[in-house]
């Protein structure tokens, strides 16, 4: 749903005012608003322009410098695919040699912009009128892209010359996430049914999607950006050069731009359950290295493959931390964060507080899986003060129900997967 404020900006006065604004600076927002009202602009228009200026600043994380030319709503931005990922989506369509892509449920146009940016003709469709208006503005630089305000499932794809479809169903309603794919809009089964007429189909889905919901003949790829799992996407027909199965695409941003690494599972049917590896049974079996797999690799069912490559085993049942004596090779490094294990402590506040005080631990990175502890609450209870920095992994080891703290030292500089620190 787009907010009314956007309509005010789509007037000559509104557009001019927005274009004249400097980059968003929270410290200046109040005085800027005041001086714009004093210049005679209506309070509603000033509020609309400042909201858009703030959204554009936030959108830079997803769209880089292009955000300054685009229009957003808070919801539309929240749901939009970031450019680093939509560029990978678009590359599949370009490589498949398709001639016109329908982006069904285009939102503010995050994916459509990436497709159009590769010179692919795009028909972007959204059933929310104001959102479709924003997509129209955002796709303005691309004459081969058009936007339609319509129900995605009512579009006659053949008549419109469409030979490829991308869909990103809405997975939220009234601010809440919807986990059942049949409650998404449009429902996953309705989107997948389009394959009968358009085999080149891609669907962005929630990364937590159950493997059993994946079509056996598709390729599903989970994507992480700097350690955060951002999506999974189901690719069908000519959009799956790798063939049916599962893979992880891990993107890391660095000084020289974004690096991309892919690892595929051995399965040829993505709906098959991932192979389980027996965990170690006691802390005595812990190796000298702890590996924390990237979340995309875990979701893609690659833990068994990582265990094989690293001669590792999970530290506990259903715990995605691995232990071995081996460092990852170059090909595996992007998919795990590796640590040297220095100590194993009981997960007991008194013991941990005494240790933190004794060593002068002032900064603590905490990773956790399989234990019900809030890292922030633990840090507060530890009353950290001092110059030392440590990394702790809170988890369960072997078949013990009690939690432990693995004190570790990071070995490489790969960004973390699920850590929190300060």
Ligand X SMILES: C[S@@+](CC[C@H](N)C(=O)[O-])C[C@H]1O[C@@H](n2cnc3c(N)ncnc32)[C@H](O)[C@@H]1O
Contact 107, 220 (CB under 8 A): no
Q: Nearer to ligand X by C-beta: 81 or 323?
A: 81
Does 79 bind ligand X (CB under 6 A)? Our answer is yes
Contacts of residue 30, defined as CB under 8 A and 6 or more positions apart, other chains included, come to none
Among 60, 118, 170, 341, binds ligand X (CB under 6 A): 170
Does 155 bind ligand X (CB under 6 A)? Our answer is no
Pairing of strands 122-126, 145-149: parallel
3-state secondary structure of 162: coil
Does 78 bind ligand X (CB under 6 A)? Our answer is no
Give the DSSP letter of residue 171.
-
Residue 173 vs residues 78, 86, 178, 179, 256: alpha-carbon distances, Å: 13, 23, 7, 11, 38
Q: What is the DSSP string of 377-413?
A: HHHHHHT--SSEEEEEEEEE-TT-SSEEEEEEEE-S-
Binding window for ligand X (CB under 6 A); candidates: 101-109, 241-249, 307-315, 357-365: 101-109
Q: Nearer to ligand X by C-beta: 32 or 206?
A: 206
In the shown chain, the binding pattern of residues 340 to 359 toward ligand X, with x for contact by CB under 6 A and - for none, equals --------------------
Among 5, 127, 305, 337, binds ligand X (CB under 6 A): 127
Instruction: State the residue number with the nearest CB to ligand X.
Output: 110
Neighbours of 273 (CB within 10 A): 10
Cβ 113 to ligand X shortest distance, Å: 8
Neighbours of 180 (CB within 10 A): 11
Does 109 bind ligand X (CB under 6 A)? Our answer is yes
Contacts of residue 358, defined as CB under 8 A and 6 or more positions apart, other chains included, come to none
Contact 410, 337 (CB under 8 A): yes
Does 146 bind ligand X (CB under 6 A)? Our answer is no
Q: Nearer to ligand X by C-beta: 105 or 320?
A: 105
What number of chain residues touch ligand X (CB under 6 A)? Answer: 22
Q: Nearer to ligand X by C-beta: 98 or 102?
A: 102
Q: Nearer to ligand X by C-beta: 127 or 313?
A: 127
Does 153 bind ligand X (CB under 6 A)? Our answer is yes
Please give the residue ranges that form the binding site for ligand X (CB under 6 A).
Answer: 79-81, 105-111, 125-128, 131, 151-153, 168, 170, 185-186
């Amino acid at each position: 749903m787009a907010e009314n404020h956007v309509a005010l900006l789509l007037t000559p006065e509104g557009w001019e005012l927005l274009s004249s604004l400097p980059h968003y600076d929270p410290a200046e927002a109040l005085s800027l608003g005041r001086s714009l009202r004093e210049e005679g602009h209506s309070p509603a228009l000033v509020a609309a322009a400042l909201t858009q200026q703030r959204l554009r600043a936030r959108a830079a994380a997803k769209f880089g410098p292009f955000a300054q030319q685009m229009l957003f709503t808070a919801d539309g931005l929240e749901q939009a695919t970031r450019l680093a990922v939509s560029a990978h989506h678009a590359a599949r369509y370009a490589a498949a040699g398709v001639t016109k892509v329908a982006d069904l449920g285009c939102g503010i146009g995050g994916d459509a912009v990436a497709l159009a940016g590769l010179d692919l003709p795009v028909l972007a469709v959204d059933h929310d009128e104001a959102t479709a208006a924003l997509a129209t503005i955002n796709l303005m630089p691309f004459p081969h892209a058009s936007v339609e305000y319509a129900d995605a499932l009512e579009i006659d794809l053949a008549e419109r010359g469409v030979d490829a479809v991308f869909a990103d169903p809405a997975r939220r309603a009234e601010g809440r996430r919807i986990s059942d794919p049949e409650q998404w809009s449009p429902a996953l089964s309705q989107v997948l049914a389009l394959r009968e007429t358009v085999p080149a189909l891609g669907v962005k889905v929630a990364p937590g999607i159950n493997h059993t919901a994946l079509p056996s003949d598709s390729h599903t790829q989970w994507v992480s950006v700097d350690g955060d799992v951002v999506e999974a996407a189901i690719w069908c027909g000519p959009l799956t050069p790798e063939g049916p199965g599962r893979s992880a695409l891990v993107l890391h941003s660095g000084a020289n731009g974004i690096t991309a690494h892919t690892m595929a599972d051995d399965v040829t049917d993505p709906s098959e359950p991932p192979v389980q590896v027996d965990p170690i049974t006691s802390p005595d079996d812990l190796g000298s290295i702890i590996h924390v797999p990237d979340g995309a690799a875990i979701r893609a069912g690659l833990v068994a493959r990582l265990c094989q490559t690293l001669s590792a085993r999970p530290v506990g049942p259903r715990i995605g931390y691995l232990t071995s004596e081996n460092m990852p090779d170059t090909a595996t490094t992007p998919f795990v964060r590796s640590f040297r294990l220095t100590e194993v402590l009981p997960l007991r506040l008194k013991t941990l507080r005494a240790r933190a005080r004794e060593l002068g631990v002032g900064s603590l990175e905490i990773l956790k899986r399989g234990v019900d502890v809030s890292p922030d609450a633990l840090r507060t209870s530890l009353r950290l003060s001092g110059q030392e920095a440590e990394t702790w992994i809170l988890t369960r080891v072997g078949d013990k129900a009690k939690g432990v703290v693995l004190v570790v030292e990071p070995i490489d500089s790969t960004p973390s997967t699920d850590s929190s620190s300060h």
